[in-house]
Amino acid sequence: MPTDKMRIDKWLWNVRIFKSRTKATNACKKGAIKIDDQKLKASSLISTDNIIHVKKDGFELTFLIKELIPKRVSATLAAPCYENLTPLDELNKFKNWFIGKAPAERREKGMGRPTKRERREIDEFKAEIFLDDWFDE
């Protein structure tokens, strides 16, 4: 039974845009969820025909809310609840990154593979650079 208003964090979780409601709530707290350039709190109420902008995993996704559903459903049942308005160039932004064609990292000859500690430091460095650019707004 559809309702006329719903919390944004619950809807994002119900239609499987986020894997958990906590992740949806945290995205709202970071300012990654917007309607008309207005950052939304997790408790913000949305209704059908709202267009929301979601910053997730390096992408700026745009969705038109078609239906508010009261509980989490499978991906096939969730698909008709929104329309993905994200431009194709945005979806292809990291195409090479995900299919493994990103340039390989270079190490000096004889250095071997990075240790677990070095790998963590590399990953933290990459995330720091990426997040600094992403949330500067």
DSSP class per residue in 57-115: TTEEEEEEE----SS---HHHHGGGEEE---HHHHTTTHHHHTT-SPPPP--TT--SPP
The CATH number given to 6-91 is 3.10.290.10
Average pLDDT per consecutive 10 residues, the chain (137 residues; last block may be shorter) = 82 95 94 93 95 90 94 94 91 64 65 86 78 53
DSSP structure class, residue 79: G
Does the model's pTM come out above 0.75? no
Residue 86: how many CA atoms within 13 Å on its side-chain side? 18
Sign, CA dihedral 30-35-37-40, equals negative
pLDDT tens digits along 73-106? 999 999 999 999 999 888 887 665 555 555 566 7
What CA–CA distance (Å, rounded) separates 62 from 35? 10
Number of Cβ within 10 Å of residue 113's Cβ equals 7
What CA–CA distance (Å, rounded) separates 22 from 28? 10
Answer yes or no: are the C-beta atoms of 65 and 85 closer than 8 Å: no
Average pLDDT, the chain: 85
pLDDT for 110 equals: 74
